[in-house]
Amino acid sequence: MLSPERETSEWRVIGRGDERICYQHPDDPGRCVKLSRREKAKQTRRELRYFRRLKRRGVPFTLIPEFFGAVEDAERIGIEQALILDERGELPPNAGEYLARPLAPAQLERFRAGLEALRDYLLAYNVIPCDLVMSNLLVLEREDATLVMLIDGLGASEAIPLAEHVPWLGRQKIRRKWKKFMKKTLMPRLEATQGRQPS
């Protein structure tokens, strides 16, 4: 897909990070491409390795984006994945954006259930998050449930990622990161959102 002749300047930018830019795939709006410069591609190389391992293990891509492979040219390397869209074909809010909205009690209840389902998924398949932050969680409201998906920041960041190979260590790491994220980041935002509800 990439080539020296193919410029990305006309591609739709979906997100930017310190290392890479996420684009909507120019030929398939249901996919995205996360591109890094080769000299600044530590996160991308780690995630490529990790997604390949998940595919070999047969992990279902239900609450993380499906992985389609690597894309590269002489200067860039990237990941091609499913682009998470809502039922209208639009980008869903991340968890921070979602909790900034006026939400009914039923919406908050379904959001909490979606969070619990994501935690259970990570534990069941030993999917290691390295960066649990609000912007990496997308919230999709469906008619009967709310999905919370982890779209970025996957794979152990250690040089020797034992947690990826030893399920017991992996589950310990997941529980530790989840507890810290909930206590320091998400619960205060949930409480603030609940506090804005009309009495």
User: For 74-129, how does the pLDDT look when each residue is reduced to its tens digit (9 = 90+)?
Assistant: 899 999 999 999 999 999 999 999 999 999 999 999 999 999 999 999 999 999 99
Is the per-residue pLDDT at 3 higher than 70?
no
Q: Judge residue 142's burial from the number of C-beta atoms within 10 Å of its C-beta, 0-12 exposed, 13-18 middle, 19 or more buried.
A: exposed
Is the per-residue pLDDT at 5 higher than 60?
no
Side-chain half-sphere CA neighbours of 58 within 13 A: 0
- Specify the pLDDT at position 64: 98
pLDDT band per the 50, 70, 90 thresholds, residue 197: low
- Specify the pLDDT at position 180: 97
Is the per-residue pLDDT at 199 higher than 60?
no
**For residues 3-30, average pLDDT:** 84
- Specify the pLDDT at position 70: 95
User: For 136-171, how does the pLDDT look when each residue is reduced to its tens digit (9 = 90+)?
Assistant: 999 999 988 999 999 999 998 887 888 888 999 999
Q: Where are the chain's structural domains?
A: 13-82, 95-195
Which pTM was predicted?
0.91
- Indicate the fold that domain 13-82 takes in CATH: Phosphorylase Kinase; domain 1 (3.30.200)
- Specify the pLDDT at position 74: 87
User: For 41-67, how does the pLDDT look when each residue is reduced to its tens digit (9 = 90+)?
Assistant: 998 999 999 999 999 999 999 999 999
What is the C-alpha radius of gyration for the chain, rounded to an integer number of angstroms?
Answer: 18
Dihedrals φ, ψ of 92, to 5°?
-75, 160
Q: How far apart are the first and last CA of the chain?
A: 54
- Residue with the larger pLDDT of the pair 156 and 178: 178
